Structure 1
Amino acid sequence: MKIGELAQMSGLNASRIRFYEAQGLIPKVERQGNGYRRYPPQVLQTLNIIQRAQQAGFSLDELKTLLPHPVTGDFNEQALVASLMRKVEQIEAMQVHLAENRAQLLAVIDGITSRPEGMACHANAERVMQSFKD
């Protein structure tokens, strides 16, 4: 299929597809006599994998372990599973970090909103900041 058809079917623009080709994420295709590139149908599946993997937080370099071999179309199952497990571990670490950040922000909010009656805003800010030093 031509790049325009591939772009329409994948929801990506042609320049993005050419970029993925230049990065080695999809196989390079030679131009035909008329100057058009003809992509095999399995490239659409690869583009879908790329899109989903990027949404899951994979970098382009990490993506290379998720994609089928450009010639055989086979997946390296061990590398694929290892890469997916590493991403799950990274997500879990991020969740812990985000939960800690959330708790800290809620503590700040609580400190701000529980200002003693009659206390000036600047004095309350100092009180809240002092509570984090303790």
Structure 2
Amino acid sequence: MKIGELSKLSGLSAATIRFYESKGLITAVSRQSNGYREYPPEAASILSIISSAQQTGFTLDEIRQVLPGDLSHWKHDELLSMLKKKVADIETLEAKLAQGKAQLNNMIALIEDKPADMDCDDNAKRILGNMGLLKAPRPAG
């Protein structure tokens, strides 16, 4: 199949397909005598796998490591190990995001709880102090 057909079938632009080819993710590409690329029928499946893997956070290098040249020859143990590692990476990121969210919510609450009679400068010092970001001045001497 030609690149235009593959583009329509996969929903990816011809430039993206050529990029994946240049990165070695699509390996079974031949050229016709007129220079047109000819892709095998499984190219659409490979492109779908690449797109799905990227959407779940895999880099092209990670995809290349486990994507077989022939879809019937998956590296089972490597694939399973990489999938488990990606889940662990996502869980670590989720924990960092939850911590960041909690800090932002704390800051919002501190800002919203500003006493009515307090000016902005004193309120900023109060917030920074509550967050442990304001250092107490050192005594002179």
TM (norm. structure 1) is 0.93
The residue that corresponds to 2:132 in the other structure is: 133
The structure-2 alpha-carbon separation of the partners of 1:72 and 1:108, relative to structure 1 and needing over 3 Å to count, comes to closer
Code of the aligned partner of 1:52: S
The residue that corresponds to 2:115 in the other structure is: 116
Alpha carbons 1:22, 1:28 under 8 Å: kept: no
The residue that corresponds to 1:91 in the other structure is: 90
Q: Which has the larger radius of gyration?
A: 2
Deviation at 1:34, TM superposition (A): 2.4
The residue that corresponds to 2:50 in the other structure is: 50
Deviation at 1:101, TM superposition (A): 0.4
The residue that corresponds to 2:14 in the other structure is: 14
RMSD: 1.4
Task: List alignment gaps of at least 5 residues for structure 1.
Answer: none
For 2:58 and 2:44, the matched residues in 1 are separated by 19
Code of the aligned partner of 1:13: S
The residue that corresponds to 2:77 in the other structure is: 78
The residue that corresponds to 2:27 in the other structure is: 27
Task: List alignment gaps of at least 5 residues for structure 2.
Answer: 134-141
Alpha carbons 2:30, 2:39 under 8 Å: kept: no
* % identity of equivalent residues: 44
The residue that corresponds to 1:63 in the other structure is: 63
1:3 aligns with 2:7: no
Report the count of equivalent residues.
133
